[in-house]
Amino acid sequence: MSEPVRLAKRLAELVQCSRTEAEQYIKGGWVTVDGRVVELPQHMVTTEVVELDPAARLAAVEPATILLHKPAGYDAISGPKMAAGLVVPASRWDEDPSGVRLLERHFQRLTPLMPLDNEASGLMVFSQDGRVWRRLTEDRDEIEQEFVVEVSGEIAPYGLRKLAHGLQYGGRDLPPCKVSWQNEVRLRFAIKGVQGGQLRHMCAQVGLEVVAIRRIRIGKVPLAKMPVGTWRYLPAGERF
């Protein structure tokens, strides 16, 4: 019986490449063991069939950033019903235009960013990329977010003007934002530095009760047409 060896060593022998290149192929998801993709160079093999995808390319695996259409009722950052549980291979949006190859490693050490209230739905971000983490944490208050808020009730006189500028939340004056009617029951907010519960409180101050909140954009990145509960990759070149 053959002695167990690391997959990277076996692949290097099979395709006559360096051990470093073999590890890169494996981490890129280009190598199968008995027909199953294995992404761990240290995986031990004996008599299994090891194959390299003919389309394999030597390229470093970039950290993934994933955009989820969070349903209402899921916790974004912490809580008993975490939205992160929806980020699985089976729920990838069928029409994801990113062109990113799905890898198992993309679902490890994903950090949720840009909080979203439990009862709200819409765009959520999970990332392995330190550059994205810094952008969405250090610059969070400078990034415009867009929300569609369904409301009921009768808006107070000059209510739209007050929503745009003149309200308080948490004991502080709120900075100006852009607010408009999308239709008879939906308001569209373009707002920076929004806090948990803020939109609901703002609407209450002008006589409106919030029925539903959906985030449709963070910076330059839109929710697009992703169905609720599905996700897509943020492609290279797309920035918040």
CATH of the domain at 179: 3.30.2350.10
Residues 126 and 225 in one domain: yes
Count how many domains the chain has: 3
Candidates 56, 49, 52, 59; CA nearest to 24 is 59
Q: What is the pLDDT of residues 143-174, one digit of tens each?
A: 999 999 999 999 999 999 999 998 999 888 99
Residues 225 and 214 in one domain: no
Residues 136 and 225 in one domain: yes
User: Is residue 213 included in any domain, yes or no?
Assistant: yes
* Low-confidence winner among 31-45, 148-162, 222-236 (lowest mean pLDDT): 31-45
Q: What is the pLDDT of residues 115-146, one digit of tens each?
A: 999 999 999 999 999 999 999 999 999 999 99
DSSP-derived 3-state class of residue 53: coil
Residues 85 and 192 in one domain: no
Range of the domain at 193: 144-218
Query: What's the Cα-to-Cα distance from 76 to each of 55, 68, 85, 96, 195, rounded to whole Å?
Result: 37, 10, 10, 22, 13
Residues 109 and 84 in one domain: yes
User: Is residue 169 included in any domain, yes or no?
Assistant: yes
Residues 123 and 152 in one domain: no
Q: What is the pLDDT of residues 61-94, one digit of tens each?
A: 889 999 999 999 999 988 899 999 999 999 999 9
pTM: 0.86
